[in-house]
């Protein structure tokens, strides 16, 4: 189904019949363990009652941690002493986004994404959201345990550039925009939310997405869906729609 919408000053022709899901599923079976991070164990599902035991419905308890067990969207409350909820700060859910593919560069013992790389790929484009796919990009990301692996991350300079470009929603396929062990500095988180100045309460960071290779770099209409958790982060389901004009 094709539809044309008025988005700000632009008329966008969007293909609604082919949603492109870039979230990772929360896997809860022993034989099918999903992505892990933050030195956490796998999420768990506990059956409280089931139809097999002559109950009228299945009823399960699920134990998981949003930051460690799959795609999640977080607000500045992730790094502030003050309790701030993603459910209170994220009030709009559709954004014009740019998908870019980046090969992290070697910096001493780390793999990083630099300002120069982002600047080259984003150019003069005006976007509200950026979706960063790193390469190599294989299905291994769907079940990888990132704990104690020092995954690629964004340099502070790159995040400052995104903030200055007006990017309000940053999505990446890594477990964090910051280095796994940085002594608690969280340079990129702090830079993106501008915690040393006027805090950008409306800005969000979404981590542990997965952008299949069939999705080409370019402009998309993003629907950033979250669960209504009163927490600094929520499991989320970002969906891309192809813009045809």
pLDDT at 64: 81
* Residues in CB range of 60: below 8 A, 6 or more apart: 45, 46, 47, 48
Is the model more confident about 36 or about 16?
16
pLDDT at 43 over 80: no
Residue holding tokens 């970002």?
Answer: 238
Residue holding tokens 């927490």?
Answer: 231
Residue 118 dihedral angles phi and psi, to the nearest 5°: -60, -45
Using CB atoms within 10 Å of the CB of residue 51, give its burial: 0 to 12 exposed, 13 to 18 middle, 19+ buried: exposed
Using one digit for the tens of pLDDT, what is the confidence trace for 66-83? 888 899 999 999 999 999
Q: How far is CA 130 from CA 20, 93, 140, 224, in A?
A: 15, 14, 23, 12
pLDDT at 226 over 70: yes
Q: Please say whether the beta carbons of 162 and 98 come within 8 A.
A: no
User: Using 50, 70 and 90 to split pLDDT, how confident is the model at 53?
Assistant: low
Q: How far apart are alpha carbons 169 and 242 in whole angstroms?
A: 18
Q: Please say whether the beta carbons of 72 and 87 come within 8 A.
A: no
pLDDT at 102: 98
Would you kindly state where each structural domain of the chain is located, as residue ranges? 2-34+66-242
- The fold of the 2-34+66-242 domain, in CATH, is Glucose Oxidase; domain 1 (3.50.30)
Using one digit for the tens of pLDDT, what is the confidence trace for 177-224? 999 999 999 999 999 999 999 999 999 999 999 999 999 999 999 999
pTM metric for this prediction: 0.93
Cβ atoms within 10 A of the Cβ of 77, count?
19
pLDDT at 171: 98
**Mean pLDDT value of segment 165-183:** 96
pLDDT at 123: 92
User: Using 50, 70 and 90 to split pLDDT, how confident is the model at 139?
Assistant: very high
**Which range among 51-55, 87-91, 194-198 shows the weakest confidence by mean pLDDT?**
51-55
User: Using 50, 70 and 90 to split pLDDT, how confident is the model at 29?
Assistant: low
Residue 119 dihedral angles phi and psi, to the nearest 5°: -60, -45
pLDDT at 164: 97
Q: How far apart are alpha carbons 26 and 89 in whole angstroms?
A: 24
Is the model more confident about 241 or about 62?
241
Residue 214 dihedral angles phi and psi, to the nearest 5°: -70, -20
**Mean pLDDT value of segment 162-172:** 97
Q: Please say whether the beta carbons of 16 and 223 come within 8 A.
A: no
How many residues are present in the chain?
A: 245
pLDDT at 2 over 90: no
pLDDT at 32 over 80: no
Q: How far apart are alpha carbons 210 and 171 in whole angstroms?
A: 10
Q: Which of 177, 202, 198 is nearest to 188 (CA)?
A: 177
Q: Which of 95, 90, 119 is nearest to 222 (CA)?
A: 95
């Amino acid at each position: 189904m094709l539809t044309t919408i008025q988005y700000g000053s632009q008329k966008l022709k969007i293909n609604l019949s082919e949603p492109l899901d870039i979230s990772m599923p929360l896997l809860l079976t022993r034989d099918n363990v999903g992505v892990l991070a933050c030195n956490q164990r796998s999420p768990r599902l506990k059956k409280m009652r089931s139809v097999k035991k002559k109950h009228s419905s299945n009823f399960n308890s699920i134990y998981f941690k949003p930051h460690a067990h799959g795609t999640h969207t977080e607000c500045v409350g992730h790094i502030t002493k003050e309790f701030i909820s993603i459910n209170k700060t994220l009030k709009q859910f559709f954004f014009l986004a740019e998908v870019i593919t980046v090969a992290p560069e070697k910096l001493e013992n780390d793999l990083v994404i630099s300002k120069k790389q982002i600047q080259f790929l984003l150019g003069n484009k005006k976007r509200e959201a950026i979706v960063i796919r790193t390469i190599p990009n294989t299905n291994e990301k769907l079940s990888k345990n990132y704990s104690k692996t020092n995954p690629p991350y964004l340099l502070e300079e790159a995040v400052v550039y995104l903030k200055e470009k007006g990017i309000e929603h940053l999505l990446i396929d890594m477990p964090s925009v910051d280095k796994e062990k940085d002594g608690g500095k969280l340079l990129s988180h702090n830079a993106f939310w501008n915690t040393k100045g006027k805090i950008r309460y409306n800005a969000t960071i979404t981590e542990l997405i997965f952008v299949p290779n069939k999705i080409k770099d370019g402009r998309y209409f993003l629907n950033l869906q979250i669960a209504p958790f009163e927490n600094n982060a929520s499991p989320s389901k970002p969906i891309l729609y192809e813009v045809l004009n």
